[in-house]
Amino acid sequence: EVQLLESGGGLVQPGGSLRLSCAASGFSFRSYAVSWVRQAPGKGLEWVSAISAGGGGTYYADSVKGRFTISRDISKNTLYLQMNSLRAGDTAVYYCARYPYQLLDHFDFWGQGTLVTVSS
């Protein structure tokens, strides 16, 4: 069974940093591109970042470019999102999701999400 389990969310002050993790199981993690998608409270979905299966290709939404860094550790079957210079507008539930076929296509599996709150 494919599972994606996010962790690392919490309360952080504006300007602070946080690292999210997404532990993957039930599939060959090294073979799939994966992504982060966020959802602000009461709002819609926003694509944040994606990384290719091999890790050599990374992509970011303009809203987080230069502040967030996506990475993956194949040996740990884990996806990461390093978030720096956090702003109130980054407050959201962050989901990791898998691309079943090709990068930047559709998502077939999603995690349950982890809440990030940026507030003083």
Partner 1 sequence: QSVLTQPPSVSGPPGQRVTISCTGSSSNIGAGYDVHWYQQLPGTAPKLLIYGNNNRPSGVPDRFSGSKSGTSASLAITGLQAEDEADYYCQSYDSSLSGSVFGGGTKLTVL
- Considering only residues 27 to 66 of the shown chain, the ones binding partner 1 according to CB under 8 A are 35, 37, 44-47, 50, 59-62
In the complex, minimum distance from the CB of residue 118 to partner 1, in angstroms, rounded to a whole number: 21
Write the CB contacts of 9 (distance below 8 Å, at least 6 apart in sequence).
Answer: 18, 20, 93, 94, 114, 115, 116, 117
Q: Does 111 bind partner 1 (CB under 8 A)?
A: yes
User: Please, which of residues 80-109 interact with partner 1 by CB under 8 A?
Assistant: 95, 104-108
Closest CA to 1 of 81, 108, 115, 113: 108
Count of positions on this chain that bind partner 1 (CB under 8 A):
21
